């Protein structure tokens, strides 16, 4: 009895954010189990649960397999195989086994296979196994939405992902995993550009009843969604909620969410961004940061786009991700595109060539579209500094098309840049009339005849237009005016 009490205590301690208490309870349980193979099987099963939560997947698989082996040994020795506590522990071991194998990644088929096993375990309506089903459901969603996320341009995959969330909601009604479902739905809305769906999940009233770690993660994700959408008041309040709820929590992934929320709140007008970045960098160890580099990059991009200096961002990376202190690039997929955008943004902020290399994904939906829109904005700003306004406007127009279904902060920035760059050249009414005919392709003599001017006067007006626009030739003047008019539509 004492052994099982310690095992239950280990789970309670973890959910309360007490990592030390978790491992201490497991050590006590192992000692109390002695040589009893049945109790040792239960101890290994609960150790596998803790290892999955601690993201030690190899250890989790080893403990889960050991638990199942010890259970067979106990059954052979005549121990009761139908003991409810033991059956529940072994069910946890099976969840751990599928979770660990799936979370390590691998081929898409492998991840989908493990996800299907977790879905089966989540749907098994066994009395007293609610916590087992909850873990299975939670990890099933993580595999489907994070380890093997849908490509935004793959409409069938996106529909399937939302269908998975819907099925998960049905299963979660009687289980304590509403937080995971909501969190994954917010992620999916963010990644695919379905703002309204993601936001509706983020604001569900059930969120107030979630465990603390789930609340922190949800509020931080919702704050990021609100920030991207351009809702500063909501981003500030949600970020503060995430930060406040992180107090006394020692779980690394929860702390990262909470301190990310503090950075978002500061960016939305709720404090010092550099101070919030320093706190984020110091909230976990560099080794723990390295398990989630994309979160540090997301956070740095928010800080940079809210006006934080590139020096502060570089310093942040030297603390949080020292291996990437000089260049945030170096990964693939979602992380690779994000890293390329961040590095380009830093270079533009530093007045350097953004060197946008290695970004060859061109889907036109969701998060990737917004990210490529960001790249277009950065290119335009770099070209504008080189007085290549026509090329800059072309980049902005391409970014606008990418962002047509992605309203929010990035699209607002693109539109503001267009308004700034697409201002007409300073011109008198007579010069404006000449410019209108230049755009039609008319030569000076025809313009003069049309407007009742001399050839010399038309030439003077053209020279004045070249000076005011910064164009090097008539052709460049006309192209710039055509692009400007098109961009302002």
CATH of domain 429-487: 1.10.10.10
Q: Are 97 and 64 in contact (CB under 8 A)?
A: yes
Fill in the DSSP letter of residue 250: -
CA dist 105 and 373 (Å) reads: 29
Token pair listed for 84: 């409810």
CB atoms within 10 A of CB 196: 8
Q: How confident is the model at residue 269 (pLDDT cuts 50, 70, 90)?
A: very high
Q: Is the pLDDT of residue 33 over 70?
A: yes
Give the phi and the psi of residue 382 in degrees, each rounded to 5: -65, -40
Higher pLDDT, 481 or 438: 438
Q: What is the pLDDT of residue 362?
A: 45
Q: Is the pLDDT of residue 236 over 80?
A: yes
Q: Are 69 and 60 in contact (CB under 8 A)?
A: no
Mean pLDDT of 230-248: 92
List the one residue out of 283, 65, 107, 257 whose CA is nearest residue 57: 65
Q: What is the 3-state secondary structure (H, E, C) of 157-198?
A: HHHHHHHHHHHHHHHHCCCCCHHHHHHHHHHHHHHHCCHHHH
Find all residues with CB under 8 Å of 87, minimum gap 6, and list them. Answer: none
List the one residue out of 135, 95, 132, 138 whose CA is nearest residue 117: 95
> pLDDT tens digits for 390-438?
788 888 888 888 888 778 888 899 988 888 777 777 788 888 888 888 8
CA dist 394 and 398 (Å) reads: 6
> pLDDT tens digits for 349-361?
888 876 654 444 4
Q: Is the pLDDT of residue 95 over 90?
A: yes
Q: Is the pLDDT of residue 258 over 90?
A: yes
Q: What is the mean pLDDT of the chain?
A: 84
Higher pLDDT, 12 or 193: 12
> pLDDT tens digits for 103-114?
887 887 888 899
Q: What is the pLDDT of residue 55?
A: 84
Q: What is the pLDDT of residue 29?
A: 92
Q: Is the pLDDT of residue 335 over 60?
A: yes
Which of 127-136, 300-309, 363-372, 407-416 has the least mean pLDDT? 363-372
Q: Is the pLDDT of residue 322 over 60?
A: yes
Fill in the DSSP letter of residue 424: P
Q: Is the pLDDT of residue 71 over 60?
A: yes
Q: What is the pLDDT of residue 126?
A: 86
Percentage of residues of the chain with pLDDT beyond 70? 89
Higher pLDDT, 328 or 466: 466
Q: How confident is the model at residue 316 (pLDDT cuts 50, 70, 90)?
A: very high
Q: Is the pLDDT of residue 16 over 90?
A: no
Mean pLDDT of 251-278: 94
Q: What is the pLDDT of residue 333?
A: 55
Q: Is the pLDDT of residue 285 over 70?
A: yes
Percentage of residues of the chain with pLDDT beyond 90? 27
Q: Is the pLDDT of residue 151 over 70?
A: no
Q: What is the pLDDT of residue 324?
A: 62
CA dist 313 and 322 (Å) reads: 12
Domain ranges for the chain: 345-421, 429-487
């Amino acid at each position: 009895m004492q052994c099982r009490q310690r095992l239950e205590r280990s789970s309670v301690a973890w959910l309360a954010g007490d990592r030390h208490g978790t491992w201490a309870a497991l050590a006590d349980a192992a000692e109390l189990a002695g040589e009893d193979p049945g109790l040792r099987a239960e101890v290994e099963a609960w150790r596998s649960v803790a290892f999955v939560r601690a993201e030690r997947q190899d250890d989790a698989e080893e403990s889960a397999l050991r638990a199942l082996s010890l259970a067979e040994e106990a059954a052979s020795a005549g121990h009761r195989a139908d003991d409810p506590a033991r059956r529940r522990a072994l069910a946890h071991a099976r969840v751990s086994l599928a979770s660990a194998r799936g979370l390590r990644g691998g081929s898409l088929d492998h991840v989908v296979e493990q996800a299907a096993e977790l879905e089966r375990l989540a749907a098994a309506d066994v009395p007293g196994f609610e916590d087992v089903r909850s873990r299975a459901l939670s990890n099933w969603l993580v595999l489907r939405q994070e380890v093997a996320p849908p490509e935004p341009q793959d409409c069938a995959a996106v529909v399937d992902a939302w269908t998975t969330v819907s099925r998960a909601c049905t299963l979660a009604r009687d289980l304590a995993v509403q937080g995971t479902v909501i969190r994954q739905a917010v992620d999916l809305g963010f990644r695919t550009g379905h703002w309204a769906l993601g936001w509706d999940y983020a604001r569900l009233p059930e969120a107030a009843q979630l465990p603390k770690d789930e609340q922190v993660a949800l509020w931080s994700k919702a704050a990021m969604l609100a920030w991207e959408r351009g809702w500063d008041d909501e981003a500030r309040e949600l970020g503060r909620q995430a930060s406040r709820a992180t107090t006394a929590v020692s779980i690394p992934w929860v702390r990262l969410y909470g301190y990310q929320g503090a950075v978002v709140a500061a960016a939305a007008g709720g404090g010092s961004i550099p101070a919030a970045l320093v706190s984020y960098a110091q909230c976990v160890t560099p080794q723990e940061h390295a398990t989630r580099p994309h979160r540090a990059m997301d956070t740095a991009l928010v800080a940079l786009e809210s006006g934080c200096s590139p020096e502060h961002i570089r310093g942040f990376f030297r603390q949080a991700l020292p291996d990437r202190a000089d260049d945030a690039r170096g990964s693939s997929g979602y992380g690779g595109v994000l890293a390329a955008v961040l590095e380009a943004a830093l270079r533009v902020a530093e007045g350097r060539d953004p060197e946008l290399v290695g970004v060859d994904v061109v889907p036109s939906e969701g998060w990737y579209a917004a990210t490529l829109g960001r790249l277009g904005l950065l290119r335009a700003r770099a070209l504008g500094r080189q007085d290549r306004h026509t090329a800059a406007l072309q980049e902005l127009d391409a970014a606008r098309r990418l962002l047509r279904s992605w309203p929010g902060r990035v699209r607002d920035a693109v539109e503001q840049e267009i308004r700034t760059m697409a201002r007409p050249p300073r011109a008198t009414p007579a010069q404006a009339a000449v410019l209108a005919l230049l755009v039609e392709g008319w030569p000076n003599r025809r313009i003069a005849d049309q407007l009742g001017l001399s050839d010399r006067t038309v030439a003077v007006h053209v020279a004045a237009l070249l000076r005011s626009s910064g164009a090097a030739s008539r052709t460049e003047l006309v192209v710039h005016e055509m692009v400007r008019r098109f961009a302002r539509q």
